Copies of this chain bind each other. A is one copy, B any other.
Amino acid sequence: MIPRYSRPEMTSIWEPQTRFRIWFEIEAYACDALAELGVIPKESAKNIWDKADFVKFDVARIDEIERVTKHDVIAFLTHLAEFIGPDSRFVHQGMTSSDVLDTCLAVQLSRAADLLIADVDALLAAIRKRAHEHKFTPSIGRSHGIHAEPVTFGLKMAQAYAEFTRARERLVTARKEVATCAISGAVGTFANIDPRVEEYVAHKMGLVPEPVSTQVIPRDRHAAFFATLGVVASSIERLATEIRHLQRTEVLEAEEFFSAGQKGSSAMPHKRNPVLTENLTGLARLVRGMAIPAMENVALWHERDISHSSVERMIGPDATVTLDFALARLTNVIDNLVVYPENMKKNLDKLGGLVHSQRVLLALTQKGVSREDAYAMVQRNAMPVWRGEGEFRTLLGADPDVSAKLSPAELDELFDLSYHFKHVDTIFRRVFGE
């Protein structure tokens, strides 16, 4: 998590103040539940809220205590006691540190997921807009980087829209994975705390109770969460790569917005580089790489060990902050993407009609030529075009085997672009539901 690739709303989730605030709420709600169950005095529970609610927890002071106790939750509770006084003895009763830490992490990851889902929504809106804008803007479809057959730029956007719709669903699922609360005590047996406390705190914190915890919330949940972020990041890389390709000098079908004062290169004043999408490619690698340590975190020893903690202290903020930044940056790129329909048309025409080779092939088979023969007939007229030796339509017309099957008018008809776009409406209906 570095400032350059961070946005404040997401980083604030991971700040000490936020963490201590969530810790306090978990403890205070637990006291409410304990008071309701008659375990601690109701007055004390109320007191805890009253005396601590307005206070800004002193992060430096907590750090100072931790340096002695080497235990963060105990340091926090000690500091909390400085505000609350004698009633502080009721705080954390029957609980273990992980009850606080893991439930807090659940709150943080859920909030992070909410932001990421909102990010995807904004991205989807941007993509949808560009998709409709260019629904019928012809563009060459490329497989293997080689011209294949016509598509529209809107279809490219529709594909991205469908992909990020899936990303959104995955994030919703991932959010559910981690949104559980554990207040189950030292090894998860509720020996010293009633399960109803967990239920109450879960409800108040917007979580559901973890069915069975073992001091910790099981880490397969977090592994699934971070693996999902890795998949979403990979989709970002895909769209970013598409744009990087489209901006190549020889292609130049689209371009990242280039602001007035911006400098592309310190040495070469003419450069306009797709630096944002290249940056997104790198950010995707980072988020993806965090899936593995998250999966390695699953196999904790027995009821728990703390090896997961350092991993999560780093990838918790890093993965969510980076992905949030990347989604926002991609939205910005899409919103401001400069699209060049005329260059798309120019590129589309580049191969002198070769992109229609399949239609010719099919037409020949429909005239009774075997697929094998038709393929050979088309290929022998296509290869010279590839070498710059002739024009596809002309060569076909001059091939006696072809012209024996297809009249000039029929051949002309096979070179019609709109033929390829007759189902764009169908696809848009599938993707956008309209």
A427 within 8 A of B: yes
How many copies altogether? 4
Separation of A262 and B71 alpha carbons in the complex (Å): 7
A47 within 8 A of B: no
With a cutoff of 8 Å between Cβ atoms, the chain B residues found around residue A242 in the complex are 301-302
- A238-B298, A265-B96 known; A282+B303 contact, CB < 8 A: no
* Residue picked from A214, A301, A315, most chain B C-beta under 10 Å: A301
Judging by beta carbons under 8 Å apart, are B278 and A307 in contact? yes
Separation of A147 and B267 alpha carbons in the complex (Å): 13
* Stretch of A109-117, A120-128, A137-145, A399-407 with 4 or more beta carbons under 8 angstroms from chain B: A137-145
A295 within 8 A of B: yes
- A270-B354, A293-B289, A303-B143 known; A220+B195 contact, CB < 8 A: no
Judging by beta carbons under 8 Å apart, are A270 and B382 in contact? yes
A5 within 8 A of B: yes
Judging by beta carbons under 8 Å apart, are B241 and A301 in contact? yes
With a cutoff of 8 Å between Cβ atoms, the chain B residues found around residue A370 in the complex are 81, 86, 88-89
A38 within 8 A of B: no
A328 within 8 A of B: no
- Sample 9 A-B pairs with CB under 8 A, ordered by A number: A86-B370, A96-B267, A141-B186, A144-B275, A145-B274, A149-B268, A151-B187, A224-B228, A238-B300
Besides the contacts A5-B314, A68-B261, A241-B299, what 20 more A-B pairs have beta carbons closer than 8 Å? A81-B372, A93-B365, A141-B186, A142-B302, A144-B275, A151-B303, A162-B218, A186-B358, A189-B423, A190-B426, A191-B358, A192-B362, A233-B295, A238-B300, A249-B347, A278-B306, A281-B305, A281-B307, A282-B297, A291-B292
